[in-house]
Each structure stands twice: as structure tokens, then as C-alpha cells.
Amino acid sequence: MYAESDFIAVSALQHWLFCRRQCALIHLEQVWAENRFTAEGRVLHERAHEGKVESRPGVRITRTLPVSSARLGLSGQCDIVEFHRDGTITPVEYKRGKPKSHRADEVQLCAQAICLEEMLSVSIDRGYLFYGQRKRRTKVVFDATLRNLVESLTLEIHELFQKNRTPAAAYESHKCDACSLIHLCQPRSFDRKRGAAAWFAAELGKIKETQRSLTDQMQ
């Protein structure tokens, strides 16, 4: 069991599977920047979160439900959770694009389900990813393979936090070019072996040195 102070965000699993450095920059170094893709995703989530608890025939819909797992040391929130009359509980996660070749979105959704299972003492066998580009749901089955992937990734991220070390940058065009953090992650003057925080500190030092030089010239 993890102490609440050691919980990591469920979204970190998605970031870690997509790019370990991106995950460290966001969740360890607290670095963030937005581009068109992240803005579109944010707007889609805001729309999903609008409204309160909603009841429809045979189902109650809850939005922005906080979830956590002390066993895995995870916390986050579900975009939507459907509570069906037959006892079935179904988490639904909203994404801006379309289904991907990797399993990052599925991992995030499964982690939410594991949190719900621990909180509510229930079993959840499936959930859905709603992709804004396709405007329809994709079913995700929470089988043993996906659950094991969630657990192994969670352990890896906890180890990252314990070591407090950001992975080195490795440029991959299909990932990096669309990433909102690309200029923070890999500016030309940036030593790839250092984290973004170290780069910011170095740049701040350059600015202060310039200011001191200007002050000396004026005296």
C-alpha cells in the first residue's frame, strides 16, 4: 500500500507508455506547454465534464469522478462513469483523435477501472474510449494482459519518482513533432542528458550574467 502523498496521476501511465521523457517532464519536473492538439483535447474533456449526475432509463451517469488505488499508488478522475441498473459499472474516457497503434489510452482507462474496483469492491470487465475524430466509442476489454501492463508501468513510474531522474531525449519524428513539449524538451542549445529544469536554470543564469554585464557597462 502506498501513502497518499506518494500517489501518481493515472494520466502518467499514458504519458509513460507514449514517451518516458514526456512523462518525467510533466509529472516529475512539472513542465507543461500547450499546442493545437492539447487544446483540442482539453476542450473535448471540458465538454464531457459539463453537467451533473444524469439519469437515463437503466443507467446513471456520473462525470469527473475522482478515483484512487492505495494498492498501486494511483489517483485521478474518470471523465464519465456509467452505473447500470444490472450492476454493471462502465468507465468512459474521452480522447481527441482516433485509436492508436500503442496501448497508452487503453492503459489509462484500465487504470481507472482498477481504481474503481478497489474503491467500490466490484469487478469491471470493460470500458470505452470515445474518440472525437471518429465520434464513436471503442470498446476496451480489461483482460489479464492489459491489467498486468498497468501494474508494471505503475511500478516503473514509482521508481522514476524515487530516482528523481528524467530520461535522456531521443528524437522520434512520429512522436516528437506533434508533442507540445518539443521546444522545452529538445531546444538546440539543450544538453539532452539534462532535464528541463536544469536547462531552465542554465538559461536563467545566462540572463542574469547579461544583466550584470549591462549594469557594469552603465556604471
Portion of the chain with pLDDT greater than 90, in percent: 50
Per-residue pLDDT band for 173 (boundaries 50, 70, 90) equals confident
Per-residue pLDDT band for 149 (boundaries 50, 70, 90) equals very high
Q: Per-residue pLDDT for 194 more than 60?
A: no
Portion of the chain with pLDDT greater than 70, in percent: 76
The predicted-structure confidence for 30-70, as pLDDT tens digits, reads as follows 887 765 555 555 655 565 556 667 888 899 999 999 999 99
> Nearest Cα to 23, choosing from 212, 137, 178, 154?
154
Q: What is the crossing angle of helices 144-163 and 104-120, to 10°? A: 90
Mean pLDDT of the chain: 83
